[in-house]
Structure 1
Amino acid sequence: MMMRAGQALLLPANPWFIWGTLIGAVLLNMLVHIALLGRSPWMPDFLAVTLAFWIIHQPRRIGVGTAFAFGLVIDVHHGSLLGQHALAYAVLGYLAVVIHRRVLWFDLPRQALHVLPLFLVAHALQWMARGLAGSGWAGWSALLAPGFEALLWPLATVLLLAPQRRAHDPDDTRPI
């Protein structure tokens, strides 16, 4: 695959870092859910952002099965309908795999616009599952969560790609 002009050559992603960030995102989701603002429907889903990021950037390491498993963990923690988050994350993972080559060609703001529909679909699936279970509508403020997740995309990209941007063995004689 050809690189865009000005794009940095990245080191391979460390699997320990990938899994550490996913577990950290689960813990952050759990912490936010326990806090007062956690029950608010407008709160972004940090695990969904992290899963989408790693599935787009490392589709051979993190996939739909991983997203489904983390969704079950979140379902158990939230005490929600079992499979609600698992279904949403699995569909999010599938859609991220489908667009992973296209998204990487764009700059960060356009990437955020490309992943916004993925987050909308994931939240719509959760709303539909809740509605079918009889929980009712979460309110209009729930429509803000996918937008906040898309706004978090550039920050997540900068933070999660930072360890890969360091120079491998820099010296003055090599151009790369």
Structure 2
Amino acid sequence: MPSPGLSATPRRSMKPQRLLGAASGWFVAVTLFASWLLNLLPWGRWPGVPDFFGIVLLFWSVHAPRRVGMTVGFVGGLLLDVHNARLLGESALAYTLIVYWAVAWRGRILRFGPAAQTLHVLPVVVLSLGAMVALRSLLLLTWPGWWWLADCLVTALLWPFVTWLLQLPQRIAAGSDPT
């Protein structure tokens, strides 16, 4: 006879998940460079286009914080500022803030699945891009409108796909099913 605090129904067996190995430094560098190149394309000035470099930088800051630091975000942001002829340092500020908040909230973000992580990624993206927009508005005395919130929302909604895509080589190397 079971004790009063225990249920008589058997527990469902949960399938154990495999631990993913660490990503290679080359893979991290190639994905960051490819996402940076995607930000150089001319569609980056349209409303609703995600920040590819920002989301990949955020991913690697959460999943490999020792390989990607604020220096990577700062240098990538400066190079994007030069390419886009923006105020020097505004993208560098945004990407540095992305890395800071990603490392600060890393433990909290990793507790959830990729879909629920989107709710934690959205404030990180809004805070970092909002600081960039506020700085630009303060220095140029112009308000760009609310288009940047659409960019933040699209970037955050891409988080589950980016997580699946960037962890795919690690899953294949670990011998698990990539689906």
TM-score, structure 1 normalization: 0.86
**Cα distance in structure 2, aligned partners of 1:75 and 1:106:** 34
User: What amino acid sits opposite 1:125 in the alignment?
Assistant: A
1:11 is aligned to 2:24:
no
Partner residue in 2 for 1:38: 44
CA contact (8 A) 2:137 2:144 kept: no
Q: Deviations over 1:28-57 (max 9, x none)?
A: 0101xx2xx332243211100000000000
Q: 3-state DSSP class of the match of 1:136?
A: coil
Is 2:91 the counterpart of 1:79? no
> Equivalent residue for 1:62?
68
Q: What is the DSSP-based 3-state SS (H/G/I as helix, E as strand, rest coil) of the residue aligned with 2:58?
A: helix
AA matched with 1:24 = A
Deviation string 1:121-141 (CA, Å, 9 cap, x unpaired) is 111111112112216222222
Instruction: Look up the match of 1:89.
Output: 95
For the pair 1:26 / 2:32, whether they are aligned, the reply is: no
Q: What fraction of aligned residue pairs are identical, expressed as a percent? A: 42
Of structures 1 and 2, the larger Rg is shown by: 2
- Confirm or deny that 1:142 pairs with 2:152: no
> Within 1, Cα distance between the matches of 2:126 and 2:33?
23
Q: Alignment RMSD, CA only?
A: 1.8
**1:5–1:118 Cα change, 3 Å:** farther
What's the CA shift for 1:8?
2.8
Q: 1:126 aligned to 2:132?
A: yes
Task: Give the whole-Å Cα distance in 2 for the aligned partners of 1:8 and 1:135.
Answer: 52
Show the counterpart of 1:106: 112
TM-score (norm 2): 0.85
Separation of aligned partners in 2, 1:135 and 1:30: 26
Which structure 1 segments of 5+ residues have no match? 171-176
Q: Structure 1's 103 and 133: CA in aligned 2 closer, same or farther, altered over 3 A?
A: same
User: Matches of 1:147 and 1:161 in 2, distance apart?
Assistant: 22
- Give the superposition deviation at 1:69: 1.1
Is contact 2:20-2:174 (8 Å) kept? no
Aligned partners of 1:60 and 1:146: how far apart in 2?
A: 25
Contact 1:69 1:86 in 2 (8 A): yes
Structure 1 residue 156: deviation in Å? 0.3
Bigger relative CO (Cα 8 Å, ≥ 6 apart): 1
**CA displacement 1:7-26 (0-9 Å, x = unmatched):** 33212201100000000001
